[in-house]
Amino acid sequence: MSTLNRRSALKMLGAGTLASAGLGLSATARAQSKVKWRMQALWDGGTTPQKFEEVFVKRVAELTDGQFEIELFSAGQLVPANQAFDAVRGGAFQMMKTFDGYEAGKIPGFAFTSTIPFGFTEADQYEAWFYELGGLDLARKAYAPAGLFYIAPTVYGAEPIHSKVPIKTLADFQGKKGRFVGLASSVMGAMGVSVTPLATAEVYSALDKGVIDMADRGDLTANLEAGLGEVAKYIIMPGPHQPTTATSYVANKAAYDALPGAYKAALAVAAREVSMGLRQHILVADGKAIADFKSQGVEVSSLDLADVAEGRKKAVDVWRKATKGEAISTQMLDGQIAFMEQLGLLA
């Protein structure tokens, strides 16, 4: 089946599933008591991703006839972003939108539910691993010991690398200084980059002052708005460090377990809708952002696919080390590698 046909089939299936889910939820929700949750997102107020979180909480309310209300907060409004994991676990509020890679040092499996450097080349492939090949269940098993419940991912496509120097091949990464986070730090280190950990807010200044030669920061639109075209005149897109991305809806497990079944279903339906909606929005926004970058004199290029494939082979060893031999993360990686082999991404 072609990619276009697959997507059309998914949309038709999704529409039918959501419609039937909505009908069932509406009747059931009226018999349920009202539930109020608080949720802190990853994003600043007014940003595009935060607007999609507004869509998420509105959709949950719609699917439950207003009986399940989630009060949404932007990044840092309730607790600093790096404290959200513990705050939700402790019950300070019920839900968060997070990037699992931030906690991969504590829970190795989170390296594989956030982004796979040099891994899946399309967001649909990554999302298929979650929904068709057991990734969702494995993510839930990884979160369970912390008293948290993994609801669903939001999956979207590649993020760019912004560079002060031209990068035409993987060999050009050798000896360069770069800002990368999570598993990408280890993989890009294996490609010869001297990795420097920096906060997102420090990327512009570090590029401007020459502290680093290149950086992963965010999506093209966010980076355009941050002015990176002023300090880095080269973009590699898609960035091999983050060819696909997943952020996660995660809840306090006790709070989730106490929900009526219809409300749990509303969370799942709304999450799947937002995943598709944000992904399609970014596809359009990326084209506009690239045109704006080019108007600033920024050169946009891509690495040769054969070169990336060679890098993928090298990355496998780094992926394997990231599992730390832990059972769930090993199972995640084994499944992902098997799928990549099936897709022809790995020989």
Whether 203 is in a domain gets the answer no
Q: Is 185 part of any domain?
A: no
The pLDDT of residue 333: 98
Q: Is residue 39 part of a domain?
A: yes
Report yes or no on 210 lying in a domain: no
Q: What is the pLDDT of residue 19?
A: 42
Surface-to-core class of residue 320, CB atoms within 10 Å of its CB (0-12 exposed, 13-18 middle, 19+ buried): middle
Q: 135-143 vs 123-132: helix axis angle to the nearest 10?
A: 70
Q: Is residue 192 part of a domain?
A: no
Considering the domain boundaries, does residue 28 fall inside one? yes
Q: Which of 112, 133, 174 is nearest to 320 (CA)?
A: 112
Look at residue 316 and tell me if it is in a domain.
yes
Asked whether residue 166 is assigned to any structural domain, the reply reads no
Q: Which residue has the tokens 């030669």?
A: 213
Tell me how many degrees the CA angle 302-247-126 measures, rounded to the nearest 5.
Answer: 55
For the chain, which residues score pLDDT lower than 50? 1-25, 29
Asked if the peptide bond before residue 166 counts as cis, ω within 30 degrees of 0, the response is: no
Question: What total number of domains does the chain contain?
Answer: 1
What is the CATH number for 31? 3.40.190.170
Residue 145: Cβ-neighbour burial (10 angstroms; 0-12, 13-18, 19+):
exposed
The two structure tokens encoding residue 13:
């299936």
Domain span including residue 290? 22-158+243-347
pLDDT number for residue 244: 96
